[in-house]
A and B are shown apart, each in its own frame.
Chain A
């Protein structure tokens, strides 16, 4: 049974359809990457999965269970984590408090999870008493991902985790993503840096105008000359 499965998803904001039938499947332990030009509906798809906008047609399943248009807090309970692209931390709370807020719905076992998060993101350990708003961009992204990981999600949705980061930090974030995935968390992320992202992806989805243009393994997409020409900048 696939971990996350979306079939023929249509939806958008206020009557304007942005998604016109998107299909997407990732298995447990896989990294799925959504790439595509601006306005293709990449982030919109992520938001549709996380119940942040109305899906008008199609269905989304998590481990076989129908989750179409379920409210975000219910999805958190079902084991889905979401890291928005912007405003994804609580700036005046300390790093540790940010992480605790991630486990708000499951307060038991916080200390064990904290240990695990600091294991994933060692730089956060020494800054754990510092307000998250004072950290660097890469570290903020780690806080944001850590916060979403606190409920031990089975699938983690990342919306452009490397946006605005320097190449150095970008690679670091991709390394962390691989490490998180290795620990058994399925990942679905939207990325602008398509080449680097596809190189770590098990599955790649190239979206354009709200539907799948190409769907294949990350490696196959990287080697596909047509994908390379139109979407990976040659």
Chain B
């Protein structure tokens, strides 16, 4: 039964964590796609930027966490979300809006977003250095070991504090976004603009305002995802390229322009990754005695080694582009 616990730790927990991060990233990408119609390559760096802002704030006020009883980084998260959202709006005003108003093709704005990616990376590495840093500046990372009430189980299920916070915040963010998009006037206007920008303009919807709101949400979500990822592992200034592909894959799997699809896509990609690098021999080994003699289990029965993790989102991306380019939920933008 310990094998099952191993499975839960390495697939169920890890997959949910990765899936949540990808889902939050994919929502951001899909929102930008549906409002401004371009693939925002700087999204992963916006996540890193958000985490870096949290790190700076935590270093500046290391005692803030103990006052509330939460990790300092979580206390600083709302402030960092505001800061990053403001930066995101500023980036749009400085770099994307001029291109948009020139009426360039979307792919030119994609290149523009690559320029922004590099600028963000350069600044982050200049100020944050290139080495990983721990987001827990003041306190220690809590690790919860849940013993299962079975005879045969000796190992605990392990969940860390940031993972628990991650799950709570992901659910809160998704519910909040759902309410925003369906209940508020601005949220509905956002959906309207994603449906039919010309008609939205003719209805008197201020599209510049909607674009700014989109960037505020995107910046906030990116900060949340980046911070929680960095808290769970460490803060790395150069993790963006490895995040970008799974996030785009998730957005496309879910159907671009479809926020709920992005959530589903995030979990599909997250679980596919963890399932693919999981060594299935661990689960099969207890049955070795019952297997015929000629069938000897190799030690390593993972689909891909961890070093090839990046192949998984790519494979999913290719598969979805070949079989169903609109994504599983029928996105609006092909």
Binary flags per residue of A154-173, CB closer than 8 Å to B gives 1, else 0: 00000000000000000000
Query: Could you say which of B203, B206, B332 has the most chain A C-beta atoms within 10 Å of its C-beta?
Result: B203
Contact A93 B204, beta carbon cutoff 8 Å:
no
CA distance A151 to B188 in the complex (A): 17
* Interface assignment of B102: CB less than 8 Å from any CB of chain A: no
Which residues from 163 to 194 on chain B have a C-beta closer than 8 Å to any C-beta of chain A?
Answer: 185, 188-189, 191-192, 194
* Interface assignment of B200: CB less than 8 Å from any CB of chain A: yes
Q: How many residues of B contact A (CB 8 A)?
A: 18
Contact A101 B201, beta carbon cutoff 8 Å:
no
Binary flags per residue of A76-92, CB closer than 8 Å to B gives 1, else 0: 11000010100111111
CA distance A76 to B200 in the complex (A): 12
Residues of A within 8 A of B201 (CB): 72-73
CA distance A98 to B204 in the complex (A): 13
Contact B202 A101, beta carbon cutoff 8 Å:
no
Query: Could you say which of B202, B205, B332 has the most chain A C-beta atoms within 10 Å of its C-beta?
Result: B202
CA distance A101 to B204 in the complex (A): 9
With A101-B189, A107-B185 already in contact, the answer to whether A93 and B195 are too (CB < 8 A) is yes
Which residues from 277 to 334 on chain B have a C-beta closer than 8 Å to any C-beta of chain A?
Answer: 332
Residues of A within 8 A of B4 (CB): none
Contact A72 B195, beta carbon cutoff 8 Å:
no
Contact A93 B188, beta carbon cutoff 8 Å:
yes
Contact B203 A76, beta carbon cutoff 8 Å:
yes
Contact B195 A91, beta carbon cutoff 8 Å:
yes
* Interface assignment of A204: CB less than 8 Å from any CB of chain B: no
* Interface assignment of B3: CB less than 8 Å from any CB of chain A: no
* Interface assignment of A10: CB less than 8 Å from any CB of chain B: no
CA distance A189 to B7 in the complex (A): 67
A73, A76, A101: the one within 8 Å of B188 (CB):
A101
* Interface assignment of A13: CB less than 8 Å from any CB of chain B: no
* Interface assignment of A23: CB less than 8 Å from any CB of chain B: no
Within the complex, what minimum Cβ distance (angstroms) separates B51 from chain A? 33
Contact A89 B191, beta carbon cutoff 8 Å:
no
Interface residue SS majority, chain A: loop
* Interface assignment of A12: CB less than 8 Å from any CB of chain B: no
Interface residue SS majority, chain B: helix
Contact B203 A91, beta carbon cutoff 8 Å:
no
Contact A90 B195, beta carbon cutoff 8 Å:
yes
B185, B196, B204, B205: the one within 8 Å of A89 (CB):
B196
Residues of A within 8 A of B194 (CB): 92
Q: How many residues of A contact B (CB 8 A)?
A: 24
Residues of B within 8 A of A89 (CB): 196, 199
Contact B191 A93, beta carbon cutoff 8 Å:
yes
* Interface assignment of B139: CB less than 8 Å from any CB of chain A: no
Contact B199 A93, beta carbon cutoff 8 Å:
no
Which residues from 90 to 106 on chain A have a C-beta closer than 8 Å to any C-beta of chain B?
Answer: 90-93, 97-98, 100-102, 104-105
CA distance A187 to B189 in the complex (A): 27
Measured CB to CB, the nearest residue on chain B to A110 is B185
Contact A87 B203, beta carbon cutoff 8 Å:
no
* Interface assignment of A147: CB less than 8 Å from any CB of chain B: yes
CA distance A87 to B185 in the complex (A): 21
Residues of A within 8 A of B195 (CB): 90-93
Measured CB to CB, the nearest residue on chain A to B207 is A73
Residues of A within 8 A of B200 (CB): 90, 101
CA distance A91 to B199 in the complex (A): 11
* Interface assignment of B147: CB less than 8 Å from any CB of chain A: no
**A interface residues (Cβ-Cβ under 8 A, vs B):** 50, 72-73, 76-77, 82, 84, 87-93, 97-98, 100-102, 104-105, 107, 147, 151
**B interface residues (Cβ-Cβ under 8 A, vs A):** 185, 188-189, 191-192, 194-196, 198-206, 332
Ranked 8 nearest A-B pairs via Cβ: A105-B204, A90-B195, A76-B204, A73-B204, A90-B192, A101-B192, A104-B205, A72-B202
